[in-house]
Copies of this chain bind each other. A is one copy, B any other.
């Protein structure tokens, strides 16, 4: 792992890091913001999973998250959304291949050699972050946007206890029921639609049974989001959460779209939400 850039930011430090991923068989880039409190000892942290077409850079440069993170004493990790490189398969469409890893492990050719974003995040990136930076491994949350909201919600349910807090901006909550998910899951996982359900937040929350002791999930969704009705359908998640007592705060944000202007408007709220579940700073 090597640091390619470092910037002082909001009293903390923003670093851009490169490393070779075994899970993805390629070089990967991610950013880590350390708040000023990290100078004194390990701090809680949150990982932000980005949406279709994004790299680590979109959130890092456009979300305006670091001022609030510095005030709250939270580190923030932002990975890329897929394996990258000329040797990695791709597709002309924006919603398949590079930039569209969907935070799952592909089983189908030509994707199965590289496209293991779930394994990458859970078994490689997070352990690397936990061992290399002054962060508290047992005080971490996860959040994301759109495809990354799907990633955050599904990883939260797939790995109980790993994340003490979770939130999402305009998440794909039911990929087994919408075109983005149909396309990606068919390509990456094949035609067995039962297998798809292992990667669908609405399915996972129902399967978990009584969720009344889970942390509340915060979801923001813009009402002017062009993907709302066809791809996002937050009402499906409201139903699923309601059926098992999963506490959910869905905020329909009037007039907001799917862009980073939407994210920068509410990212401080999300960080504050995470902080309510994550431990105090040591030291």
By a beta-carbon cutoff of 8 Å, the part of chain A in contact with chain B is 7-11, 14, 61-64, 66-67, 222, 224, 253-257, 259-262, 264-265, 268
A259 & B7 in contact (Cβ 8 Å cutoff): yes
Cα–Cα, bound, A11→B255 (Å)? 9
Shortest beta-carbon contacts, A-B, top 3: A64-B64, A7-B261, A9-B261
Contact between chains at A11 and B64 (CB < 8 Å) = no
Could you show 8 A-B contacts with beta carbons less than 8 Å apart? Answer: A8-B255, A10-B265, A61-B61, A61-B62, A61-B260, A63-B64, A64-B67, A67-B268
Kindly list 11 other residue pairs between chains A and B, CB separation below 8 angstroms, not including A7-B261, A14-B261, A61-B260. A7-B256, A7-B259, A8-B222, A8-B255, A10-B264, A61-B61, A61-B62, A64-B64, A66-B261, A66-B265, A67-B265
A261 near B222 with CB under 8 A, answer no
A9 near B265 with CB under 8 A, answer yes
State the number of copies, please.
Answer: 2
Instruction: Please judge, given known A-B contacts A62-B62, A67-B64, whether A8 and B262 are in contact too, CB under 8 Å.
Output: yes
Question: Which residues of chain B are near A257, meaning CB under 8 Å?
Answer: 7-8
Contacting residues, chain B, for A7 (C-beta < 8 A): 256-257, 259, 261-262
A261: contacting residue among B8, B63, B254, B265, CB under 8 A: B8
Min C-beta distance of A261 to chain B, whole Å: 4
Task: Decide if A9 touches B66 in the complex (CB within 8 Å).
Answer: no
Nearest B residue to A264 via CB reads B64
Please measure, in the bound complex, the distance between the C-alpha atom of A71 and the C-alpha atom of B134, giving whole angstroms: 33
A255: B residues at CB distance < 8 A: 8
Is the pair B224, A8 in contact by a Cβ cutoff of 8 Å?
yes
**Closest approach, in angstroms, between the C-beta of A75 and any C-beta of chain B?**
15
CB neighbours of A14 from chain B (8 A): 261
A268 to chain B, nearest CB (A): 7
Residues of B within 8 A of A61 (CB): 61-62, 260
Q: How far is the CB of A56 from chain B (nearest CB, A)?
A: 14
